[in-house]
A and B are shown apart, each in its own frame.
Chain A
Amino acid sequence: MGSPEELQETGEWTGQKVRIYPVTRIQGRADIEVFFTPHQKPRGARFRALEYRGFEEMVPGMPALRGPSVMSRLCGPCGLTHQLLSCLAIESALDVEVPQAAASFRELISWLFLAQSHLLTMVYSVLPDYALPMSDVSVRNVAGIYSVDREGVSRLLAALAAFTRAISAVAGLPAHPSVVVPGGTSYLPAAEGLHRVSEMLAEGREDIAETLRLVEMLTRRSSRMIDPGPPLKGFYVTTSADGFADINGDSVTISRFDGEERRVVDPDSFLDMLDKRPVGWSYLVPVAILKGEPCLVGPMARVNLGFGPEAAWACEERARILEEWGAPLDGELLFFTALALEVIWAWENASRLLEGGTISGTDSCSVPTMSESGAVAVLETPRGTALHWLAMDRGGAVAEYRVVSSLQLNQALLDDHLTSVALKEVGGLEISDITSQRLQFAVRSFLPCVSCGTH
């Protein structure tokens, strides 16, 4: 069965379509279109981005040194990674070596933001799907859950507060922190400040552990209430280092869900593999890899590849969870668990960096000398793999800028999965609130970030 677009092109599709608008509890504005046969049977479904950002068109002519702080504004939840990607592309193009202390400080901030972003998603977007999936709309939200289970929500919020306070201490604002600059960081925190952050994270440990317990309990309960849908097919993709998922990894690992194929490529080769496939029905441009086979980026992909041995607690919990649910994680229901696991992963790595003493010194930035050049950088945003490529002119102005985001990479698999769920759950042209929520749950499990996607 073809996609709705293919069906329309071939004239095979002549039925009606139903629109679910807006898709709620996601980042950005989007809808779902469900297509029906002339006999009113569901035929396919697709997710559409309804907004356009236009940053790629805006930055040419701008001084590249100011590029990272502008590109950070692509997205709130993933802003830090876009800023870092922009810096890395500039540094790679100009052959700048970032001071070790600054590199460690960047890594610390990245882990803190990963955890903060995941916990915000878990509390505000995902929790209602697991805690009160069948409830009325007036209760099925974080405030409704808080009214009936203050203690549970408070646990999650306490874990969130640990990371938010840590970010506030070292990076300032909870989105678009200005401290990541081309060539390094704008400052290095004093040992005293780092010690305070270390204490904040230590205080949050128990809440983070309880968060995973709560998430597992809700996932087990949901698995008895919600049909988990068909397993995901295709590839999972993540940046990696030494064979493990790494948000700052220098290579990209592409693995088949069935385990039959795995390849590791460098950022330049990854760029060559990407194929933009614009569609006329969405402001998002899907990107295909490996001749168009669907792929998944994001927390489940990273959990599937595995965490490095430096994160012993996360590794132990991951092994236990994979034993319970089977490897690899290929069911949408398990993305909540993947988020919780990554919070532990982030907590451990941030704590390790704080204890390691590598974020010290006075040299925080190697100021680049501008020249005509260009380069690519690949990193993991909280929601999955993203890529920035830029070219600069002799004066250091941006000549061309290209971004590939996680939602662009996920779009094909998301639409495939959405179609599978629609075929199973949608009975006719009247789509109930429960069915609509089921379709939106399928969308949310891909952590779509429309702002990033429609850069």
Chain B
Amino acid sequence: MYVATAALCACGGCHCSLMTVGEPFIALLADNSISYSSHFVDRRTIAPSDVVLVTGGIRNAEELEIASEIGRTSRKVIAVGSCAVYGGIPGAGDIPPVEVEDGSGLPALLPRLEPLDTAVPVELYVPGCPPPPNLIFEALKSVVEGYSSIRFDSTVCSDCPRRVQRGPVRRWTLHPGTGVHGADCLLSGGMMCLGPVTRGGCRASCPARGAVCAGCRGPSDAVLSSQLHSMYADMVKYVGLTCGTREDKVAREMAALLRWMYLFTRRDPVTRARIREKVVDG
């Protein structure tokens, strides 16, 4: 098999995550052929490959060209990380133009960052910021060895060791982790944890350590199952149940926090329509 990796507008966190797999990953590379990867190999051109792991979204003309070339020359493309899958944090805002020298050859910036599948068909999606190392490696291995990859249809909440304490919440905060003790649910402590509506598979890495789930793996299957669901609507329902408060009251209290629910997914075509309708501007 010819294996490749490519990074578009990416921070390198997904490649870091993959590289920490260590020996099993390197053994897989050694048993196959690396057709290109600017992280690992000194090859300068995009060559035909059986599988390409792509991290990052598309922010400039060069990245669009790379993505298109990958699409033309690859059998299977795996989108790794929330930037490639949804647009991620760099896709959360429009970027003002940057002045560059005429004839500098610097790639022109696009008005906004787009997810990978706007330019190339994607075989597998591995969202997360970053995705856990085992999930990336498993996705790669499944394509190389030709078996079906694990699909996580749980939520972060269902993997979380904390337990819901039903009762009213006095005040909601955007603080990402005030140090809630013991095994109490962070939502019960008034923190905006998106665990109930976020795709699982990360072993609730953040809430298990007292930090809110910021929704980096995107909406869960339950949220995506119907147009009647959304991260916001489902959160209102869960919080109402947790706090024993009427849903309309919860919706009012959470309105100001709404735009931070979609920090990783605002460029995703699936959620974009809903965001346009529901995100409060400014």
Complex Cα gap A184–B175 (Å): 11
The answer to whether A281 and B178 have CB atoms under 8 Å apart is no
The answer to whether A178 and B99 have CB atoms under 8 Å apart is no
In the bound complex, residues from chain A placing their C-beta under 8 Å from that of B7 are 28-29
The answer to whether B129 and A58 have CB atoms under 8 Å apart is no
In the bound complex, residues from chain B placing their C-beta under 8 Å from that of A153 are 23, 26
Q: Which chain B residue shows the least CB distance to A17? A: B105
Contact of A283 among B23, B34, B89, B98 (CB under 8 A): B98
In the bound complex, residues from chain B placing their C-beta under 8 Å from that of A188 are 179
The answer to whether B13 and A76 have CB atoms under 8 Å apart is yes
Q: Shortest beta-carbon distance, B105 to chain A, in Å?
A: 8
Q: Shortest beta-carbon distance, A118 to chain B, in Å?
A: 12
Q: Shortest beta-carbon distance, B36 to chain A, in Å?
A: 9
Of residues 29 to 82 in B, which have CB atoms within 8 Å of A's CB atoms?
29-30, 33-34, 38-44, 59-60, 62-63
Q: Shortest beta-carbon distance, B164 to chain A, in Å?
A: 18
Q: Mark B205-231, 1 if CB is under 8 A from A, else 0.
A: 110111110100000000000000000
Known contacts A76-B130, A181-B175, A187-B209; A120 and B19 CB within 8 A of each other: yes
Q: Does B150 contact A (CB under 8 A)?
A: no
Q: Does A273 contact B (CB under 8 A)?
A: no
Q: Does B199 contact A (CB under 8 A)?
A: no
Query: How many Cβ-Cβ contacts under 8 Å join chain A to chain B?
Result: 233
The answer to whether A187 and B42 have CB atoms under 8 Å apart is no
Known contacts A65-B175, A179-B177; A73 and B90 CB within 8 A of each other: yes
Q: Mark A296-319, 1 if CB is under 8 A from B, else 0.
A: 000000000000000000000000
Q: Which chain A residue shows the least CB distance to B133? A: A174
The answer to whether A73 and B98 have CB atoms under 8 Å apart is no
Interface segment out of the listed A142-150, A233-241, A254-262, A350-358: A142-150
Contact of A74 among B11, B30, B92 (CB under 8 A): B11
Known contacts A48-B106, A143-B34, A451-B11; A178 and B209 CB within 8 A of each other: yes
Q: Shortest beta-carbon distance, B217 to chain A, in Å?
A: 11
Q: Does B88 contact A (CB under 8 A)?
A: yes
Q: Does B17 contact A (CB under 8 A)?
A: yes
Complex Cα gap A128–B15 (Å): 18
Q: Shortest beta-carbon distance, A27 to chain B, in Å?
A: 5
In the bound complex, residues from chain B placing their C-beta under 8 Å from that of A68 are 176
Q: Which chain A residue shows the least CB distance to B214? A: A69
The answer to whether B181 and A362 have CB atoms under 8 Å apart is yes
Contact of A187 among B19, B109, B177 (CB under 8 A): B177
Q: Shortest beta-carbon distance, B272 to chain A, in Å?
A: 18
Interface segment out of the listed A156-164, A287-295, A373-381, A399-407: A156-164
Instruction: List 9 A-B pairs, Cβ < 8 Å.
Output: A66-B174, A76-B12, A157-B23, A160-B20, A161-B22, A172-B209, A174-B16, A175-B130, A280-B99
Known: A181-B211, A282-B104, A451-B10. 6 other contacts (CB 8 A): A25-B42, A154-B23, A173-B202, A181-B175, A184-B179, A187-B210
